[in-house]
Amino acid sequence: MIGALNPKRYRVEHIFDLDEALLRAEIVLAHALVIHAPAPDATLLRRCRTTAQRVTPVIVSPSSDGPLVAAELGGRYVSVPFDVADFKRAVYRAVSRTEDRRQRGRQDTRDSEMRPVQRVLLLTSAQLKGAIMAAVLQDQLGVRCEVATSAAEALAFLQMTVEAVVAEPELLMEDPDGAVVARKLTRRGIPVIPVKQHEELDVAEAGQAAWDIVPQLRRTLTARKPGARQAG
């Protein structure tokens, strides 16, 4: 793993376990992640996809699949055996790409601070796993995600402006106040995105469940006007 401080000055950390490298890349905010992979495949792609959204990878491999995996991850590819100059060029381009993405992210953050923050309500029976999901949704969507563990709590949050609800359908159907919540959501036209009951998920699966609904929730929030007045 190369943890680049900027395109011209960087320090290198040699890590031989991929999971540790991915974790360290996140922690130290590395600019490039160099992966020596004799046979990059779908498994490598799946394991690296999340980190590649923040850190640009460089795939070093003799395999004909290397360019495809690098392209899927938005990274650079270096063939083996490689020329040192080509390798350095790939790393610097990866570093520059990461820095460009972060600069755009900072600009997007500044722009979003000028708009009302959208609020999402997460209705779940498992408070800890709900907190994990809420953290993922807030990080990926730039929203404020409130967590309710019962329909009664959800009613309290619905006193505020809420653009969307992510809910376990079982809670709305089995909780005595669930029908009241459902009526309010229908009356206000607030979209509801169903999710699997979190008690059946472990911590990692709860995080993945949040990742899985990010695209749908993003489309839902984009279609709604932030901070719209809601009656009822």
- Domain coordinates in residue numbering, the chain: 2-111, 119-223
Structure tokens at 105: 């992210």
pLDDT of residue 108: 62
pLDDT of residue 130: 86
pLDDT of residue 12: 76
pLDDT of residue 5: 45
The second-level CATH assignment, the architecture, of 2-111 is 3-Layer(aba) Sandwich (3.40)
Distance CA 150, CA 46 (A): 34
Chunk the chain into consecutive blocks of 10 residues (it has 232) and report each block's average pLDDT, rounded to whole numbers: 53 82 79 91 89 90 92 92 88 87 70 68 86 88 90 89 90 83 89 75 74 88 63 53
Q: Which residues, in sequence order, are CB contacts of 61 under 8 Å at separation 6+?
A: 36, 37, 38, 39, 40, 69, 77, 78, 79, 80
The sheet that has 2-4: what strands, in order across it? 10-12, 2-4, 32-36, 56-61, 76-79
In this chain, the answer to whether the domains covering 2-111 and 119-223 adopt an identical fold is yes
The class level of CATH for 119-223 reads alpha beta
Query: Which pTM does this prediction carry?
Result: 0.49
| 189 Ramachandran zone, left/alpha/beta (phi>0; psi -120 to 50) | left
Neighbours of 84 (CB within 10 A): 7
